[in-house]
Amino acid sequence: MTLAILYALLAGVLVSLSRQINGRLSLSTSALTASFWNHIVGLAVLTVLGLALGGLWPQGALDAPWHAYLGGTMGVIFVASGSWLIARIGAVNTAMLVIGGQMVSGVLLDLVRGAQDNIVTSVVGVAMIIAGMSLTQKR
Amino acid sequence: MPALTRPAPFHLLLAFASGGLLTLMVDFNGLVALHAGPFYSSWVAHGTGTVAALIFLGVLRLASRDDGKTDTPQKPRAPLWAYLGGVSGAVTVMLTSHTVNTALALSGTLALGLAGQVLFSLAADRWGLLGMQVRIPGLRDFSALALIFAGSMIIIFGQG
């Protein structure tokens, strides 16, 4: 359990670490170029691991609906915008605003799907996030 | 290097929209993972992403084909480590696909992941880690951070 907690914390650290590194690369190239390198290097690492451990092409590899395979393209835009933002507004602001967008859109998605279990806490949470986001704005 | 500023409304909108894109991306990649596992899902997302990035870069180059008249200032060379951001993304997937199956479940994984992001970002700005600018967070930043973090926790743990 302690190990799982460390892993989950480390996963968050790595998200910010990779944004910081890609942000640095974008200063010397461009945000989109940084996103390209992020993806091709990640692909190389995962390919080596998949070849070593097996399971690169599992059963069901092509069974998901076609639109599900657009996730990678979204990732390119996501990494490019993060690299662009972090060089302009810093790591804390970028992380906070992206997290805010992720949480609020997650609540909306659940709402649309009727998977929202507790509307009261969600509304309170969204209100706090919006208040926090408006605090980050220039006066 | 562009000067760091407080976010303008445009920054806020872009970041907010990219958070929304992340929600969709996680959902789509999760759908692939449902059919063929989290490792494959991440591998295929990196593969299709590489192709998509090449296409985007090609389109941009065609659109802005300059005739050599504009001088662009020379940018500083990137150190070799700056190309390794993708390694940490690849490792993240493996960590989280493990932790969601422990007692932490999805909510614990999300909450601790947000905490990890906040802690690292604070240190990154404070000391300008990895060649980025120093930006010392003030009271306003901490208040915003506290509100967004607490609001996120209420949403994550309010479910179920």
Query: Tell me, what's the ipTM?
Result: 0.92
Reported as a pLDDT band with limits 50, 70 and 90, residue B51 is: very high
In chain B, residues 72-101 whose CB comes closer than 8 Å to chain A: 75-79, 81-92, 95-96, 98-99
Q: What predicted TM-score, i.e. pTM, was given to this entire model? A: 0.92
Per domain, the residue ranges of chain B are 22-62+83-102, 104-160
- Rounded to whole angstroms, the Cα distance separating A4 from A72 reads 27
Neighboring chain B residues of A45 at a CB cutoff of 8 Å: 86-87, 90-91
Contact B44 A61 (CB under 8 A): yes
| Beta carbons of B147 and A103 less than 8 Å apart | no
Say if residues B93 and A49 touch (Cβ distance below 8 Å): no
> pLDDT tens digit string along B98-145?
888 888 888 888 899 999 999 999 999 999 999 999 999 899 999 999
**C-beta atoms of A133 and B28 within 8 A:** no
Is A120 near chain B, with CB under 8 Å?
yes
pLDDT at B68: 54
Give the CA distances from residue B80 to residues A28, A53, A132, in Å, rounded to whole numbers and listed in that order. Answer: 11, 27, 37
Mean pLDDT of chain A: 92
